[in-house]
Structure 1
Amino acid sequence: MTLKSIPLTDELHAYLVAHGSPPDEIVRDLAEETLAVLPEHASMQVAPEQAAFLTFLTRLLGVRNAVEVGTFTGLSSLAIARGLADGGRLTCFDISEEYTGIARRYWARAGVDDRIELRIGPAGETLRELPHERHLDFAFIDADKTSYPLYWNELVPRMRPGGVIAVDNVLRHGRVVAPESEADRAIAAFNEYVLADVRVDAVMLPIADGLTLARVH
């Protein structure tokens, strides 16, 4: 028995990835290209175990209508799209044609591009274009950290009862307990906001840089 999650060495992390739907050739190539082309931003990509978890969770929930805020080069959207139920759709929101240009190529290579709609523009504005009724089964937030509350409040009212929102980077590499930057402070405040939000039940998991899962009432 252990009272907290164990730390992951590089060796243990490799073991974990290898024993939980390890990356296929497409995922490996996408990760390698992202690192080669965008070395200073490659850390924005979700971890391989997180991608596997997103596919698993999407399948588990039987997701048909999904939204992603913050697509980058497309690993998380690829993972979600692979888990969608038959006829399912994923709408992605991002501001970069450059980054999502890479994503589009890998969506096509994986054969999921027909399930994904990409909308370019500030998500705080483009999210408002979604139907107002409660129709979303799943949402993934991984974009500008200071805007998390804005994205959250656009999405929660659009989630069906029992729908799930996943929010990335909620631990900020541990800095939420002693924030050092505006983004750190924003995430620490956002975490308190989610904890107090009576519209959801939420749990924070120590996956990658911290992942909050919230089930909407």
Structure 2
Amino acid sequence: MSQSDWTAVDAYLVEALQAPDPVLEQALADSAAAGLPAINVAPNQGKLLQLLAQTQGARRILEIGTLGGYSTIWLGRALPPNGRLISLEYEARHAEVARGNLARAGLAKQVEVRVGRGVDLLPDLAGEAPFDFTFIDADKASNPDYFAWALKLSKPGSLIVVDNVVRGGGVTDAKGDANIQGIRRMMQMIAAEPRVTATAVQTVGSKGWDGFCLIRVVT
């Protein structure tokens, strides 16, 4: 199997199971027009995040890494009417695009995008915790810090999802770059943490070979 095969299968799955969505399509178009990197989740991955948050019954969602707001829209749509989502984004330009996309999606009142380094913003969220669902999809070198804070801001039963943990198989390289080292250190922290139970799964598709880590807070 090759990348073209994975992309074709993803295209079939999305066409078979997901109706066209002009709001999400425009969010991608606006992100591309603004020069944002095309590193958003795939449509079927976005739907997976939405389903996980809905299954979780999430009323409060934290996202670390907004980009253009594509995954944020998927997660925002999982919220009940009284739910709230806070998304953290380092780049002010990305946040501006995301806010426009969220407003078009009708989520401006439920979703707040905050700008700054995640490690600087996360301590300020203590008064708004606990979060039922956290999605981590930012700089991978900081994943250990993001996981530690996500755990602090969670409660028993909360779900934490971390994206891009396989990186084309690079995660097996003990001497990999800073992103790989961040993922590996996070994995070690998760394995040693008695308050959580976790697994990771590989994925292939239009975004290549990668994977998610799913962490449930148990105590």
Q: What TM-score, normalized to structure 1?
A: 0.88
1:23/1:56 Cα in 2 relative to 1: closer, same or farther (>3 Å)?
Answer: farther
Aligned 8 A contact 1:132 1:158 in 2: no
Task: Indicate the residue corresponding to 2:63 in structure 1.
Answer: 68
Whether the 8 Å contact between 2:95 and 2:115 is mirrored in structure 1 is: no
Other-structure match for 1:9: 6
- Pick aligned residue for 2:186 from 180, 190, 194: 190
Query: Displacement of 1:143 after TM fit?
Result: 0.7
For residue 34 of structure 1, report the CA deviation from its aligned partner. 2.4
Change (3 A) 1:212 1:22: farther
Alignment correspondent of 1:127: 122
Q: Which of 193, 201, 206 is the equivalent residue of 1:205?
A: 201
2:162 alignment counterpart: 167
Query: Would the aligned equivalents of 1:65 and 1:137 in 2 still touch at CA under 8 Å?
Result: yes
Tell me how far 1:54 sits from its aligned partner: 1.2
Specify whether residues 144 and 131 from structure 1 end up closer, same or farther in structure 2 by C-alpha distance, changes over 3 A only: same
Residue 8 and residue 128 in structure 1: after superposition, are their counterparts in 2 closer, same or farther (change >3 A)? Answer: farther
Matched residue type, 1:200: V
Structure 2 partner of 1:117: 112
Paired amino acid for 2:17:
G
Q: Cα RMSD over matched residues?
A: 2.0
* Contact 1:134/1:161 (<8 A) preserved: no
Aligned-pair CA distance for 1:37? 3.2
Letter in 2 for 1:26: V
Q: Give matches, 1:31-180, under 5 Å.
A: 31-38=28-35, 41-43=37-39, 45-131=40-126, 135-178=130-173, 180=176
C-alpha separation in 1, matches of 2:188 and 2:13: 30
Alpha-carbon distance between aligned partners in 1 of 2:82 and 2:128, rounded to the nearest angstrom: 20
Unaligned runs of 5+ in 1: 1-6
Q: How big is the shift at 1:112?
A: 0.9
Alignment of 1:215 onto 2:216 = yes
Counterpart of 1:215, as a letter, is: R
Q: Which whole-Å CA distance do the structure 1 matches of 2:17 and 2:86 have between them?
A: 26
CA deviation digits over 1:108-157, x for unaligned, max 9? 11101110112111110111011268621011111111111111111202
Aligned-residue sequence identity (percent) comes to: 33
SS in 1 for 2:80: coil
- One-letter code aligned to 2:211: G
Moved over 6 A (4+): none
TM-score by length of 2: 0.88
**Gap regions ≥5 residues in structure 2:** none
Contact 1:22 1:52 in 2 (8 A): no
Q: How many residues align?
A: 209
- In 2: Cα distance, 1:130 partner to 1:98 partner: 22
Superposed CA deviations along residues 41-97 of structure 1, whole A, max 9, x for unmatched, are 212x11111111111111111111111111011011111100012200001111111
Structure 1 residue 16: Cα displacement: 1.7
* Structure 2 residue aligned with 1:3: none
Which structure exhibits the higher relative contact order, with contacts defined as CA atoms closer than 8 Å and separated by 6 or more residues? 2
